[in-house]
Amino acid sequence: MRPLFMLLLLSSAAVQAAPAEALKPMAFLAGHCWKGEFPDGKQTDEHCFSWILNGHALRDVHTVRTPGKPDYVGETIYHYDAAAKVVSYLYVENDGGFSRGTMKPTATGLEFPEAQYINGSMVLPYRVQWTVNANSYEAFSEMYVKDKWITQFKMVLKKQ
C-alpha cells in the first residue's frame, strides 16, 4: 500500500509542476476558464487553460458559441522556444485554419505580435493585446486589411 501511496503522491506533484520560467507571465490563466461576450451580444467566447507536459506548455481550449450554430473550437499550445528565446504558440481550429506566433509579457498584460491566420488560400495578418486585471482580461484584436490595421473586436473575458 505504501508504494502505491508514494506513486500517487509523485504523480500528483508532476501534475502540479511549476511552469517553465518564460511561461510564468501566463500562470494566472492556468486552471481557469475565462468567458466573454462579443460586442454584438450574439456570441460568447470561452478560453480554458491548463498546464500540460509538466508545466513546459500551456494549453488553451477556445470555444465560440453562437445560438443555433455549431461551436467554433480551437486549441492553442504555448511553449518556450529556447532556440529563438521566445514563447511561441500553435493555434489550430475545427474549420482547418491555424496560426503560429509569439507572446511577450508587457507592463499591463500580454502581447501577441503580428502573426498570420491561414485557412486554405486565405491569409489574414492579425495582432492581439491582452490587458490583465484581477479577475479578467481585455482582449483587443486587430487585423490587417487593405493596407491598414482595423479593430476585429475588443472584449472583456472574466474568470469563471
Among 82, 43, 83, smallest CA distance to 63 is for 43
Dihedral Cα 63, 48, 75, 20, nearest 10 deg: 160
Q: In CATH, what number does 17-159 get?
A: 2.40.128.20
Cβ-in-10-Å burial (0-12, 13-18, 19+) of 103 comes to buried
In this structure, of 39-43, 75-79, 83-87, 105-109, the range with the lowest mean pLDDT score is 39-43
Predicted structure pTM score: 0.87
- The yes-or-no verdict on residue 9 having pLDDT over 60 is no
pLDDT at position 84, please?
Answer: 95
Predicted confidence at residue 16, as pLDDT, reads 52
> Model confidence over 62-89: pLDDT tens digits?
999 999 999 999 999 999 999 999 999 9
Query: What's the pLDDT at 65?
Result: 97
Nine cell digits for residue 118: 491561414
**Band (17; pLDDT cuts 50, 70, 90):** low
pLDDT of residue 33: 98
For the chain, domain boundaries: 17-159
What average pLDDT does the segment 54-66 reach? 97
Residue 49, CA atoms < 13 Å, CB-side half-sphere = 18
